[in-house]
Amino acid sequence: QPAGDISPDVSDSDSDGTSAPETFPEPPKDPLSLTSGNKCKYTVIRPETCSDAVKKLAVLVKNTIGEHIDGFVSIKEDFLYGSTKPEQYEILIGQTNRKESVDALEGLKYNDYCISIEGDKLVVTAYTEEKLTEAVNKLIEFINGSEGDISFTHEDQIFSNAEYERDEIKIGDISLK
C-alpha cells in the first residue's frame, strides 16, 4: 500500500494472480456534525463555473439547513485565491474543484450520483444536473427528517447506481474502462 493509505487492501486473487486488489475506504469514526445548536460550521461550496440550476441547488441546501437551525449558513464558490486552502468543513455540491469531489466522481458512471463522506467533507455530486438534482433532493429529505442537530454518518451515505445495458465495453480483449 502507498504511504499514508489507511485503506485495507483486500485481494481476491486467483492462483494465477489475474484479479486486481480492491481498496475500500475506512468508515469515519465519528459522524459529520453539520450543525450544533443554531450554528452550522459547514460551508456550502459550489463550482465557480456552473449552470444556474447547480447554483440554485447549492442555495437550496444552504437555505434548507438555515431554516432547520434558524440561523446563518455560508455559501461560497470553489475558487481558491493564490495559496488559499479549502476550508476544513465543506458541503461540496456538484463537480467542484476539490479533491474530494474529483475522487467521488471517479467512482461514478454517467447516470449515478452520490452523497458521501470524504474526510471532514460531505460530497454531493453527479455527472448530470438531473442526477445532481436527485442527490440534492435526497439530502434535503434527510435534513428535513432530522430532529435537532444534523449529523451525517457513514450509514447515511447514498450511492445511486443506474441500470446499464452493458457493464463493460471492450474492443477485442481490451476494456475501455
Per residue in 126-140, pLDDT (tens digit) is: 999 999 999 999 999
- The tally of CA atoms less than 13 A away on the side-chain side of residue 102 is 4
Cell numbers representing residue 107 in the block = 467512482
Q: Residue 57's pLDDT band (boundaries 50, 70, 90)?
A: very high
- Specify whether the CB–CB gap between 135 and 125 falls below 8 A: yes
Angle subtended at Cα 154 by Cα 151 and Cα 157, rounded to the nearest 5 degrees:
90
- Specify whether the CB–CB gap between 97 and 67 falls below 8 A: no
> Running DSSP on this structure, what letter comes out for residue 23?
E
Residue 11's pLDDT is what?
A: 41
User: Rounded to an integer, what distance in angstroms lies between the CA atom of residue 166 and that of residue 51?
Assistant: 30
| For residues 91-108, average pLDDT | 95
pTM of the full structure:
0.77
Positive/negative CA dihedral, 56, 62, 68, 70: negative
Residue 9's pLDDT is what?
A: 43
On the question of pLDDT at 91 being above 60, the answer is: yes
